[in-house]
Chains A and B, each alone.
Chain A
Amino acid sequence: MDMSQYKSLFLSEAREYLKTIGDTVAALEQSPMDRGAIDDLFRGAHSLKGMAASMEFGDIVDVAHSMEDLMMRVREETLAFGAGVAELLLEGADLIEGLLNDVEQDLEPRRSSGDLVKRLSRYQPPQPEAQAQATCRGNDAPAAGNDAPISESTTPAPVPERAAPADGAAASVESSQAEGSSRPAGISQVQAQLPAQVSAEAEKAKEPAGEISTVRVKTEVLDHLVNLTGELITNKQRLLNIGQELGSARLNEAVSQTAKLLRALHDEVMKVRLMPFGAICDRFQRSMRALAKQSGKDLQFELAGREIGLDRGILEQLADPLNHLLRNAVDHGLESGADRIAAGKPAKGVVKLSVRQDRDRILITVSDDGRGMDPEAMVAAAIRKGLIGEEEAVLLTPRQALMLVCIPGFSTAKEVTELSGRGVGMDAVNASVQKLGGSLAIESEPGAGSRFTLRLPMTIAIIHALIVQCGSMKVAVPASAVQRSVELRRDELETIGRRRAFRLDGEIVPLLSLNRVLGLPLARFRAGFMSLFVTEAKGRRVGVVVDRLLGQQELFVKPLGRPLSKLPGVDGGATLADGEIVTILNVAELL
């Protein structure tokens, strides 16, 4: 099997495991009995071993395997976690890191594990001598496989001759052998005093020697930058509030300049996290080929916009929804060849997946030239399924009717599927898109085809949100989920059946109370009008009534840890400008 396609994934994931191992060792040194951390270490080494074995990198397998065995002993409590174990594991992690760098540059592994594998597998709990040996790690480890004298190995080291980033995307670090040799004599003196440290650094610095034109940055550093930028934006909001309180025009002017700069900084930082859409395209091409074969339909798959960059976090969560949409397009959208010819179309159906950027949004469309969807048939089916009432059905616009496929329970019904030309899982697709702060739109013309458009933000860490008050709580709702905010007069309220509703652009929009959903006391009419925002849930517009609308803010979203992350309807937390902590609601999931 050709494994080269997996190389970059292997490298990035292996480095993540190494980082986890490093962090966990540090944590265990603080609390050596932490079972969870011990399990994590064992798993990390185990996973590394498995991955390296698949890639047939025997050196890495050997080291990871002996690390796994060592942790197995700790896990089974035949060995206590102590400084000796920690040192060995870190040494193993460093060695693997070096081997990964070799792999990345397609070099033959230039370092050997020396006796590390042996030391890992024969490790005995610290005695006075063993302790002494453990503290001089870095002295024997990296040098073990490297016979070259220190003075030579430092020659090609890229001295801090870093050129300033020329294009902002990748800083160049060109270095040449000549630079090394013209180094001031002072350095060799330092070397003499600190042989261990310098040799370790020289070892690390050796790889890039003149061949590399970009700086590799660890993803943790990027995440840290994103965090800091987020905190700065939160702080900017505070300054903005203070400026307004003080009524100082000069302060406001300075803050608004800072805000612009922060926005630019944020955009630059986020750009670094972008990955081309093409990174996940291979699988679509493969699955479309397989689908064509299975369904017996002759089809052409067109892909556009592979080069468009998306946030890594978003990209990872797009694969499943897009797969769903593509599968539906083939299984249910496209007609059979004979039917197409009968309808006067070319026998070969076309399915397109295209990505483009529209200002600060990414638009992804999946379209087909198949049979299309019939809004009337869908409405009729939804009534038959008891998903909507007849009086409600009359009020649906064609756009709303198409969105009925997103109601759970609608699209899973087989009969409806065949009738409407759309398949399973649309509710899941819609939910995933909303979770990413995006929206789904469906257009279709019976007989001519359908088009599903996903509108997504470029990044997910920083969002615009509407802050609302419910009882004593403030909560945030992503602006992407808010179609409009409304202050409704009492006389604009209507009652339809047993539900309260109001009219928006000639459409009847039912009302729901967010207080009730959150289990809080109900909102009162304040001075004769009620505050609400309009959102979309299960493909329908809904007015969500709150106590007060407090305004919009830029929020830096922080994910919640377990078990809070499993709470339905909660997408994360954020700090408001006044220091108050709010939860960010996923309204569609709550309603």
Chain B
Amino acid sequence: MSSTVMIVDDALFMRKMLRNILEAEGYQIVAEASDGDEAVAKFQEHRPDLVTLDIVMPNKTGLEALQEIMALDPAAKVVMCSAIGQESFTAAAVRAGARAFILKPFNPELVAHVLKETVEG
């Protein structure tokens, strides 16, 4: 059975891109969320194997959502999506339990590689 993923990003465009990349890699997208609140709620509902989490979002930032998700499931595998210039967040995200980072704009091969390592690791 393929791994299940939830994609969290406030931009539909980004979610769609990531969805296409992941589906081509055989992942099963079980949920999408467009803000931090929704991310936490849908995580609880779907318990995906993997979460990709944007940092800058309304209602709860990615960092806040990450903390809540880790509180729900300390074994959760969360990969943060960050852009250049957000280095200040990375240390905090790692402390909060993020497994890895993927950088925007997405490079499909790189994204696939990072996610594969995260799922298997």
Q: Across the interface, do B16 and A9 meet the contact criterion of CB distance under 8 Å?
A: yes
Q: How far is the CB of B85 from chain A (nearest CB, A)?
A: 8
Query: Are B108 and A1 in contact, with the CB atoms below 8 A?
Result: yes
A210 at the interface (CB under 8 A from B): no
**B23-A54 in contact (CB<8A):** no
Partner-binding segment picked from A43-51, A350-358, A473-481: A43-51
Q: By the criterion CB–CB under 8 Å, are B56 and A286 in contact?
A: no
Q: Which residues of B contact A9 (CB under 8 A)?
A: 12-13, 16
| A287 at interface, CB cutoff 8 A | yes
The answer for the CA separation of A283 and B24 in the assembled complex, in Å, is: 10
Shortest CB-to-CB span from A34 to chain B, Å, is: 14
Q: Report if A231 contacts B (CB, 8 A).
A: no
Contact with A along B1-13 (1 / 0, CB 8 A): 1100000001111
Q: Are B83 and A293 in contact (CB under 8 A)?
A: no
Residues of B within 8 A of A39 (CB): 58
Closest to A324 in B: B30
CB pair A13–B56 under 8 Å, yes or no, is no
Contact residues, A318-359 vs B (CB, 8 A): 320, 323, 327
CA–CA, A573 to B24, complex, Å?
A: 41
Complex: chain A residue closest to B10, CB-CB:
A47
Chain A residues with Cβ below 8 Å from B106 are 54
Whether B70 sits at the interface, judged by CB under 8 Å, is no
Distance between Cα atoms of A47 and B57 in the complex (Å): 9
Residues of A within 8 A of B108 (CB): 1
The binding surface of chain A is classed by DSSP as helix
Q: Are A47 and B56 in contact (CB under 8 A)?
A: yes
Q: Is the CB of B83 within 8 A of A46?
A: yes
Q: Separation in Å of the A324 CB from the closest CB of chain B?
A: 9
The smallest beta-carbon distance between A24 and chain B, in angstroms, is: 12
Q: Whole-angstrom distance from the CB of B55 to the nearest CB of chain A?
A: 9
A50 near B11 (CB under 8 angstroms)? yes
CA distance A536 to B2 in the complex (A): 34
Q: In the bound complex, what is the Cα–Cα distance between A290 and B28 (angstroms)?
A: 9
Return the chain A residue nearest B21 by Cβ. Answer: A1
Find chain A residues with CB under 8 A from B10 CB: 43, 47
The answer to whether A286 touches B11 (Cβ under 8 A) is no
Q: Check if B14 is an interface residue, CB within 8 A of chain A.
A: yes
**B109 nearest in chain A by CB position:** A1
Shortest CB–CB separation between residue A211 and chain B, in angstroms?
A: 26
Encode contact with A along B81-121: 1 for CB under 8 Å, 0 otherwise.
Answer: 00100000000000000000000111010000000000000
Choose from B13, B20, B24, B29 the contact partner of A10 (Cβ within 8 Å). B13
On chain B, the number of residues with a Cβ less than 8 Å from chain A's Cβ atoms is 26
User: Could you tell me if A51 and B23 are in contact, using CB atoms closer than 8 angstroms?
Assistant: no
B74 at the interface (CB under 8 A from A): no
Which residues of chain A in 186-226 are interfacial with respect to chain B, using CB atoms and an 8 Å cutoff? none
Q: A13-B13, A50-B11 are in contact. Are A43 and B104 (CB under 8 A)?
A: no
Q: B17: which of A46, A54, A293 is its contact (CB, 8 Å)? A: A54
The B interface is mostly helix, strand or loop, or mixed, namely mixed
B14 lies within 8 A of A51 (CB): yes
Contact B105 A286 (CB under 8 A): no
A1-B108, A46-B56, A294-B26 known; A51+B13 contact, CB < 8 A: yes
Known: A43-B58, A54-B106. A6 touches B24 (CB 8 A): no
* Residues of the A chain whose Cβ atoms lie less than 8 Å from the Cβ of B58: 39-40, 43
CB pair B105 A53 closer than 8 Å:
yes
The residue of chain A having its C-beta at the shortest distance from the C-beta of B45 within the complex is: A428
Quote the shortest CB–CB distance from A559 to chain B (angstroms).
Answer: 15
A49 x B83 contact (CB < 8 A): yes
| B 52-87 contacts with A by CB, 8 A | 56-58, 83
How far in angstroms is the closest Cβ of chain A from B3? Answer: 11
Question: B109 to chain A: closest CB distance in Å?
Answer: 9
Q: Considering the complex, give the chain B residue whose CB is closest to the CB of A11.
A: B13
Name the distance in Å between B114's Cβ and chain A's nearest Cβ. 16
Min distance, Cβ B54 to any Cβ of chain A, angstroms: 9
| CB nearest neighbor in A for B16 | A9
In this complex, the member of B16, B24, B83, B105 whose beta carbon has the largest number of chain A beta carbons within 10 angstroms is B105
When distances are taken between beta carbons in the complex, the residues of chain A under 8 Å from B16 are: 6, 9
Chain B: minimal CB distance from A325 (Å): 14
Interface positions of A from 47 to 87, Cβ below 8 Å from B: 47, 49-51, 53-54, 56
Shortest C-beta distance, B34 to chain A (Å), equals: 11
B24 to chain A, nearest CB (A): 7
Q: Are A50 and B12 in contact (CB under 8 A)?
A: no
Identify the closest chain B residue to A45 (Cβ).
Answer: B56
> Which residues of chain A come closer than 8 Å to B13, judged between CB atoms?
6, 9-10, 13-14, 51, 54
Contacts of B26 in A (CB 8 A): 290, 293-294
Q: Which residue of B lies closest to A5 (CB)?
A: B20
Question: From residue B22, how far is it (CB to closest CB) to chain A in Å?
Answer: 10
Residues of B within 8 A of A51 (CB): 11, 13-14
> What's the minimum C-beta distance from A6 to chain B, rounded to whole angstroms?
6
Give A156 to B14 CA distance when docked, in angstroms.
37
Q: Are B11 and A47 in contact (CB under 8 A)?
A: yes
Q: Are A50 and B20 in contact (CB under 8 A)?
A: no
> In whole angstroms, what is the CA distance A416 to B29 when docked?
23
The residue in B1, B20, B31 that gathers the most chain A C-beta atoms within 10 A of its C-beta is: B20
Cβ B14 vs Cβ A283 within 8 A: no
Cβ of A323 to closest chain B Cβ, rounded Å = 8
* Interchain CB contact under 8 A, B20 and A13: no
Whether A50 pairs with B23 at a CB distance below 8 angstroms is no
Which residues on A sit within 8 Å (CB–CB) of B12? 9, 13
Complex contacts, A293 vs chain B, CB 8 Å: 26
Please give, as numbers and ranges, the residues of chain B lying within 8 Å of A42 by CB-CB distance: 56
B2 touches A54 (CB 8 A): no
Question: Cα distance A10–B14 when bound, in Å?
Answer: 9
Least CB distance, B40 to chain A, in whole angstroms: 12
> What would 29 A/B residue contacts be, using CB atoms closer than 8 Å?
A1-B108, A6-B13, A6-B16, A6-B17, A9-B12, A9-B16, A13-B12, A13-B13, A40-B58, A43-B10, A43-B56, A43-B57, A43-B58, A47-B10, A47-B11, A50-B105, A51-B11, A53-B104, A54-B14, A54-B106, A283-B19, A283-B20, A283-B23, A287-B23, A290-B23, A294-B26, A320-B31, A323-B29, A327-B28
Closest 5 CB pairs of A and B: A54-B105, A53-B105, A50-B104, A13-B13, A47-B11
Instruction: Supply 6 further A-B pairs (C-beta < 8 A) apart from A9-B16, A293-B26.
Output: A10-B13, A42-B56, A47-B10, A290-B2, A294-B2, A320-B31
